[in-house]
Amino acid sequence: MKLRLEHPAWRRLAASLARGLARVSLGGTRSSLHGDPEGKAILQSEGPVIFALWHGHLLSCLYLGTIFCRSKFPIVVMASPSRDGEIVSDLALGLGYGVVPGSRHKGGFRALQNLTTHLRQGESAALTADGSRGPIHVAQKGVLYLSRETDTPILPVAAASSRKITLNTWDRFEVPLPLGQNTFLVDAPIRVGSRDRGAALEKQRQHLEARLNHLFRLSQDFFSQP
């Protein structure tokens, strides 16, 4: 029997393979935490935060989050209601995250409402700042709206891997390989005020984008530095 990519059995298998890959590639390697002191302090506290990351670092960040963000669990992840999003959703659920379906193109407003409820209940959230379709490394405003409406700090994060494959996808998705080293990178928190609207909100968006791109550049060179 030919198993089509849209078949539910394939999606379940793909998620299981992704979880297995994450455990093999990341679970048997040395992992570390690196970054801004205030960001690391907030990361290890119990208060809710909104994790913001680029889509290409999703796999490593989900797994490394189970190591360095235990005080934040349960963390609720927004996942696109698409075939790829279902794989991400199953992967996140298998690693102990909660999932809210939604994207900028489908169900995004309702997803933000649901995440708002979770944050006000003291839970943390995680979003890919460049969304589920890009453009790559261009921050969207959803994470800023969420921060503003819940008075919750945004914590920019990224992942660095000494051995990895970079896929030829829109997001340049990174797959860590076994026998390497992995580092969870965290920057200083970003706080969006209740008056940050219009031009002020756009300035915050550019600030978030710059922070995440700084982390991305750091992740690419992290293991090549002397």
Tell me what pLDDT residue 7 has. 46
Note the Cα 193 to chain centre separation in Å.
Answer: 22
Tell me what pLDDT residue 89 has. 84
Tell me what pLDDT residue 40 has. 95
pLDDT (tens place) for every residue of the chain, 226 residues total: 333 444 455 455 666 666 666 666 666 668 999 999 999 999 989 899 999 999 999 989 998 999 999 899 989 999 887 767 777 888 898 889 999 987 777 667 889 999 999 999 999 999 999 998 899 999 999 999 999 999 999 999 999 999 999 999 999 999 888 888 999 999 999 999 999 999 999 999 999 999 999 999 999 999 986 6
Tell me what pLDDT residue 102 has. 78
Tell me what pLDDT residue 4 has. 41
Tell me what pLDDT residue 18 has. 66
